[in-house]
Structure 1
Amino acid sequence: MTTSLIEVRGVSRRYDDGPPALHDASLTVAAGESVALLGPSGSGKSTLLNLLAGLDRPDDGTVTVDGTRVDRLGETAAARYRRAKVGMVFQFFHLLDDLTVVDNVLLPAQLASTLPRAEARRRAAGLLERLGIDRHSRAYPGRLSGGERQRVAVARALMNRPPLLLADEPTGALDSASGEDVGRLLTELNQDGQTVVLVTHDLALARACATRTVRIADGRITAPSEPEPVR
């Protein structure tokens, strides 16, 4: 039987007096899936991602990730949840420019305090080697290309072995070649068993690295899925 990693049930989120950013949204994601959330700007994609990350709370409904009721978490518990269960990759990398590549990757382990220092360094070195950027371990992010910086961001997101990887427009700030490179990387990670939820405007990226696509418009999930794309 396939195990569900994510269960979103009847979720709505409103801001101010405008229309809801999400309205009665429900979504199930199995462990090991790679799901792309597609839709225009303002459709509710990033709102849903923020709810999964525990960065926001729904007004109605429930959000469960890997057995944790995320919608019930307070600020401190949500921070612990993110450190343990979620890796996040953003459009603009959010690397710390005054830290070296390896120190950026080590940061989640240092915040979580779950690994001895030597083991954390071995883990970081292994990730950088796996992602093909180990030669840049002592460099600073500003000296890297956009595609290389995004690989560092992915390594940092995977540092604590999270069951869920969230990617918000991960190729939006990259040129076409670097974007395709990151798409291949996400595909490889998913083929190795990593669960991925990806927000993108890019249908080609979704078809390349997602096993399922979910369309969102005006805060509503309008098309739950499409057939598995050919990789």
Structure 2
Amino acid sequence: MTDPVIELRGVTRRYDEGPPALHDVSLTVQPGESVAVLGPSGSGKSTLLNLLAGLDRPDAGTVAVAGTRLEKLGEAASARFRRAHVGLIFQFFNLLDDLTVLDNVLLPAQLAGAPARVSREHATRLLDSLGITRHAHAYPGRLSGGERQRVAVARALINRPALLLADEPTGALDTASGEDVRHLLDELHHSGQTIVLVTHDLRLAEACASRTIRLRDGRVEVAG
């Protein structure tokens, strides 16, 4: 049987003396699943995403991604793991305005020490598949919101991650651009990419997710 991409067991995370941001959360995600995490503000969605990315550590429990126990890694090892195994898509793109589209996409591969020629060929294929080849040498500031999010997706995929994490990927987009990103994430899901997306966009969850998880007050309320 194939090992899960994500395996959380009894995860709790506190930030102060109040209620925990996450409390005793267990979750398993198999390869090729697309899971939408829903819930009101303050429910623990962002904390969950940060734990899966190795950007935060639990106070109790275990977090395994692609067979690696993230809570056991130091900061430098977490960064190396993230570059190699996790792709991140953010609400506000986080592109570097002084780099071209192509150079933005290539940056994670360069940081990971991947061969330049192979990375450039892969980046070119990604831009082509995402319909933004014509913008390869443009700067992000000249692109629409939807186009910038496509660049961000290409950047997230450049190192062929085991896991793609998306944090409100349609939150900063107009209706048409949001629809484009919904189609794109649905295509990635059907191509076999494992995805966890945090969203308030029910249409996005319905279009792209094979399963939904609802968080409330740091606990899993409904898993489907």
TM-score w.r.t. the length of structure 1 is: 0.96
For residue 11 of structure 2, give the secondary structure of its aligned residue in structure 1: strand
- Identify the residue that residue 160 of structure 1 maps to in structure 2: 159
Instruction: Quote the RMSD (CA, aligned, Å).
Output: 0.7
Counterpart Cα distance in 1 of 2:120 and 2:64: 32
Counterpart Cα distance in 1 of 2:180 and 2:63: 32
For 2:200, give the aligned amino acid: H
For 2:194, give the aligned amino acid: T
* Residue ranges of structure 2 left out of the alignment (5+ in a row): none
Counterpart Cα distance in 2 of 1:203 and 1:191: 19
Q: Counterparts of 1:30-179 in structure 2 under 5 Å? A: 30-114=30-114, 116-179=115-178
- Identify the residue that residue 13 of structure 2 maps to in structure 1: 13
Q: Counterparts of 1:176-187 in structure 2 under 5 Å? A: 176-187=175-186
Counterpart Cα distance in 2 of 1:31 and 1:68: 15
> How much has 1:71 moved relative to structure 2?
1.1
Listed one character per residue, the Cα deviations across residues 178-218 of structure 1 (whole Å, up to 9, x for unaligned) are 11110110010111110000000111110010000000000
* Residue ranges of structure 1 left out of the alignment (5+ in a row): 226-231
The share of aligned pairs that are identical, in percent, is 73
- Tell me if 1:204 matches 2:192: no
- Identify the residue that residue 217 of structure 1 maps to in structure 2: 216
> How much has 1:224 moved relative to structure 2?
1.3
Counterpart Cα distance in 2 of 1:125 and 1:202: 30
Aligned residue pairs total 224
Counterpart Cα distance in 2 of 1:75 and 1:4: 24
Counterpart Cα distance in 1 of 2:30 and 2:42: 26
Counterpart Cα distance in 1 of 2:112 and 2:151: 19
For residue 4 of structure 1, give the secondary structure of its aligned residue in structure 2: coil
Listed one character per residue, the Cα deviations across residues 7-58 of structure 1 (whole Å, up to 9, x for unaligned) are 0000000011121000000100000000000001110011000000000000
> How much has 1:2 moved relative to structure 2?
4.7
